[in-house]
Structure 1
Amino acid sequence: MQHHAVRRRKQMARTKRIGGGTAAWTRRQMVSRKKWALVEGSRKPRSHIERRMKKLRRLLPNGESMELEGLFRETADYIMCLQMQVKVMQIMVSVLSPMDSGD
């Protein structure tokens, strides 16, 4: 019983300090944070990984229709393709740019 009272006093002290600049979470803030994390139309919280997977699917061409394994494989191929395009453009710049003759 005493443990509960001590914990409650500490919690009350934290919530009083919130106005003074201490970053402590109240129960209301925690509940609203949970509601924010819920997927629209669902009761399941959206995990950090699910959010990142959704972003990755939007980045890849035709990525929204892929399964997880295919998504990772396609991501690796897409990164290699983009790296190759950068190399080609760097070569084109070096070939097409005027050379300094030093005279």
Structure 2
Amino acid sequence: MQISKHEEPMPALQRKAERLHQNPDLATPSSKKQKVMPSEMQNRASKSKKQSLSKHHLQPEAQRCQEIDEEVEGEESERADVEEKISTLQRIVPGGEDLGVEKLFEETAEYILSLQWQIKAMRALTTFFEGLERNTRKLGG
């Protein structure tokens, strides 16, 4: 390469880059050089592009699949929890084992109201008997 008086000398790296740009085969070591046909170059480029795309697109897709699996597992776990609670409720509510879920809920509401009335009655009786005991003490009994 001759340098004329009007050209400035090129740095070595810039000259090497230009040569590589003009002849890409220079970039690979001579022991690995192979003749590559243009169609094969396109196939390689296409394959490499597909691989890079699949890496970028598969990761979110795989992550989404994992999220769906976790959702399904979560729903199955919730369903098992609900079934266990219904089973417990059937044992607590008198006659609950023979009831369907809708009727079980109605009976549960009625049973809760019944228990609340029983609590009020017991408090009233407790208050009544405490009053009787105080009166008996006052009278010296």
Q: TM-score, structure 1 length as denominator? A: 0.51
Cα distance in 1 between the residues matched to 2:92 and 2:112: 11
Q: Of residues 75, 88, 91 in structure 1, which corresponds to 2:124? A: 91
State the Cα distance separating 1:68 from its structure 2 match.
Answer: 1.1
| Offset from partner CA, 1:36-91 (integer Å, 9 cap, x none) | xxxxxxxxx67310010000001011101101111000000000000100100000
Give, in angstroms, the shift of residue 99 of structure 1.
Answer: 2.9
Aligned residues: 66
In the other structure, the counterpart of 1:64 is 97
Partner letter of residue 99 of structure 2? M
Instruction: Give ranges in structure 2 of 5+ residues lacking alignment.
Output: 1-54, 60-72
Identity of aligned pairs, percent?
A: 32
Greater helix share, structure number: 2
Residues 1-103 of structure 1: matches in 2 within 5 Å? 47=79, 48-97=81-130, 98-99=133-134
Q: Aligned residue for 1:7?
A: none
Tell me the C-alpha RMSD between the 2 structures: 2.9
Q: Which amino acid aligns with 1:81?
A: S
Partner AA of 1:99 in structure 2: R
2: CA distance, partners of 1:99 / 1:60: 38
TM-score if structure 2 supplies the norm length?
0.39
RCO comparison, higher one (Cα < 8 Å, 6+) = 1
Q: Which structure is larger by alpha-carbon Rg, 1 or 2?
A: 2
